A and B are shown apart, each in its own frame.
Chain A
Amino acid sequence: MSFKNNKEFIEIGDVVTLYINPNNMHQIEVKDKIVNKKGELVDNVFQTTYGALKVLSLVGIRYGSKVDLSRGWAYVLQPTPELWTLTLPHRTQIIYTPDISLIIYLLDLVPGSIVIETGTGSASLSHALIRTVRPNGHLHTFDFHEQRVVLAQEEFKNHGIDEFVTVKHRDVCTEGFGDELDDMVDAVFLDLPHPWLTIDFAIKSLKRKGGKLCSFSPCIEQVQRTCAKLSSMGFISIETYECLQRELTVQQKNLSVLNLAYLRDKTAENVTKFDEPSKLTTVSHPSSTPGHTGFITIAILPPECIDER
């Protein structure tokens, strides 16, 4: 139930984010026993770089507490979709929060929205979509990879949010989104190698009052083909964006100050080479940072185009 309501205390069945430092976070399912590599049922002990944690000992602890590891300590947090994105098991490449937030914003999603997502992938975006559209909206998510569909379904159930999502195993490029979604959805999100192949199906699924479509593609050629298709099908306000988050590391530095002026004045005595150092608070930029993730294309389908189809 970790993603439905904000909780005070950890219970059996919760998924917990174990925070050691910004680059060392994990997600743990709080249960008594797990199956090890040999297929045997053993006590659930989680290994970190700072030692082991008996997972069952977390039950009853308040979220946000410090917990002891055998060689250090960590904090236990209730996962948000943002924390989940940082710790989830990767089955595919995933979309990160800077892009996720822009996708949700541009699609005008609010509680009650009905939205299609394809492909499901590692369900990084799915968790954020579900948070936004519940309690009375719904996410229909599709993937052509059967195992990913099964795993995503299990995750949603474990996270207590399966009532807000339908996961389907389907190749939407050839089969579409299904007749049951005709005139049903407010927004469509595409993260596919050939997004233009699904646009006819997307138009079928969008509500008669119109809706929005967003496509995420890493390559500009994909964007060009998608935009050409969108434009030919009557989509308007087609815009493409790229958003990069730049991390800043806050630093306090002492800068040495050279004392040079006295050299002109030969009479000065007892002068030092250096003045008091200057204290500076500033930021440093990482030497390597993501320079590209993907292009986000957003378009509106006006109602008249749906009537004409």
Chain B
Amino acid sequence: MSGKIKKITTPLTKEKLKGLMAGDTVYIRGSIYTGRDAAHQRLIETLKRGEELPIDLKDQIIYYVGPAPAKPGQIIGSAGPTTSYRMDDLTLPLLKLGLSGMIGKGSRGEQVIEGMKKYGAVYFAAIGGAGALIADSIKESQIVAYEDLGTEAIRKLKVEDFPVIVVIDSQGNNLYVSEREKYKR
């Protein structure tokens, strides 16, 4: 893995994501949305009914996370990534709407990778299990949709130097495949 260290500010326009390659360490600044299983199901059901989504996804990043509750004085509780493949079947319609980044952990299905290439998007991994550490880079958190879902509600987070690695870039290069091969015996 011979990636570069890069800093990006959201929104993640199609122009900006062209410069992000699998292996790059990226520090994100700006606004990102949270969303995991239940929120994705609602977003897709909303689209199926022909209704408008509660958030505009164009050039946005969704972070697959269900944070722990904040202690008094905290902005957010521990907030590491959840496993991404569970969102695979619910991702293509969001890519079509212009979603340009996803943050999670673990493999993605072929149809998602093809969609990322077609519509232009990158998949970042945050360190799974490092929820206490990651929470430090989240500076604001506000529920913007589906409050009744509790930890699964959609939040708008303001982040600073939020650390991620580009695992699958918009050309389909996949770090999980290439790096594993390197260390296989």
A and B pair up: no
